[in-house]
């Protein structure tokens, strides 16, 4: 029976009954409503099964290296290297506990008429090698084509090698030319690199 009809019936009764009965029946009705209220078809234990999986994209390294930088006092350098030490971001609890996968995307545009190798090296606290990636860049690769795309993937099996990383070293290695030509301090072409990391987190509530 719906409560509308209960209300309707009660109204009729209320007008006909003597005072005391009216009085009690009305309270009985309201009390009944309040007491018989219930919570059904819900399962609070479900809140233990929450899984959230946010994906964040973060800018990483970017650089634009002129050809002249590979020349020092007239002589070609074999490589240029730069590094970041004491990286603390990966010691953050959220990262340690919830980071499950990371894809690092690199875009390289090479205007210089020379081939390069781009090395990215991940070292731990004791400078032990955790991971190294090498990408080969053809001479002037982007003049005729799109920027070259490279990815370094850390999946569930090796994500720890990223989490343990304290130092990241970037190296542009200049490969010898095929015709014997060399770069000069007046060369203005550049090799440039842009990058971002896509970080996959997974947080699950546990009992």
Q: How many CB atoms lie within 10 A of CB 104?
A: 21
Number of residues in contact with another protein under rule CB under 8 A: 65
194 binds another protein (CB under 8 A): yes
Site string for another protein, 145-184 (x = CB under 8 A): -------------------------x-x------------
The piece of 82-90, 109-117, 123-131, 173-181 that touches another protein (CB under 8 A) is: 82-90
Which helix (H) or strand (E) is 200 found in, with range?
A: strand 190-201
8 binds another protein (CB under 8 A): no
Which helix (H) or strand (E) is 121 found in, with range?
A: strand 116-123
Q: How many CB atoms lie within 10 A of CB 72?
A: 11
100 binds another protein (CB under 8 A): no
Listed in sequence order, the residues at least 6 apart from 205 whose beta carbon sits closer than 8 Å to its beta carbon are 47, 48, 49, 50, 51
Question: Angle at the Cα of 89 (from 127 to 106), degrees rounded to 5?
Answer: 80
Listed in sequence order, the residues at least 6 apart from 42 whose beta carbon sits closer than 8 Å to its beta carbon are none
22 binds another protein (CB under 8 A): yes
Q: For the CB of residue 195, give the shortest distance to another protein in the complex, in Å.
A: 7
The piece of 75-83, 112-120, 127-135, 154-162 that touches another protein (CB under 8 A) is: 75-83
Eight-state DSSP code of residue 147: P
First to last CA, the chain: 41
Q: For the CB of residue 98, give the shortest distance to another protein in the complex, in Å.
A: 11
Site string for another protein, 23-62 (x = CB under 8 A): x--xx--x--xx-xxxxxxxxx-xxxxxxx-xxxxxxxxx
Report the alpha-carbon distance of residue 40 to residue 25 in Å, rounded: 27
The piece of 22-30, 123-131, 152-160, 174-182 that touches another protein (CB under 8 A) is: 22-30
Report the alpha-carbon distance of residue 110 to residue 157 in Å, rounded: 33
Q: For the CB of residue 33, give the shortest distance to another protein in the complex, in Å.
A: 5
List of residues contacting another protein (CB under 8 A): 3, 7, 14-15, 19, 22-23, 26-27, 30, 33-34, 36-44, 46-52, 54-63, 65, 68-72, 77, 80-85, 87-88, 105, 107, 170, 172, 194-196, 198-199, 201, 205, 207
């Amino acid at each position: 029976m719906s409560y509308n009809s209960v209300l309707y019936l009660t109204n009729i009764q209320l007008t006909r009954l003597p005072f005391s009965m009216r009085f009690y029946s009305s309270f009985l009705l309201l009390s009944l409503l309040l007491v018989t209220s219930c919570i059904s078809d819900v399962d609070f234990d479900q809140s233990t099964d929450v899984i959230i999986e946010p994906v964040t994209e973060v800018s990483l390294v970017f650089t634009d290296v002129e050809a002249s930088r590979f020349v020092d006092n007239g002589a070609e350098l074999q490589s240029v290297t730069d590094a970041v030490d004491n990286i603390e971001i990966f010691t953050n609890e959220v990262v340690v506990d919830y980071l499950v996968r990371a894809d690092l995307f690199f875009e390289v545009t090479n205007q210089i008429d020379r081939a390069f190798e781009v090395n990215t090296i991940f070292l731990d606290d004791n400078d032990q090698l955790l991971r190294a990636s090498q990408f080969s860049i053809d001479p002037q690769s982007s003049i005729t084509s799109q920027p070259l795309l490279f990815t370094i993937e850390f999946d569930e099996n090796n994500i720890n090698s990223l989490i343990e990383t304290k130092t990241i070293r970037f190296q542009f290695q200049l490969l010898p030319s095929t015709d014997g030509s060399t770069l000069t301090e007046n060369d203005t072409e550049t090799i440039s690199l842009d990058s971002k990391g896509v970080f996959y987190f997974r947080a699950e509530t546990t009992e």
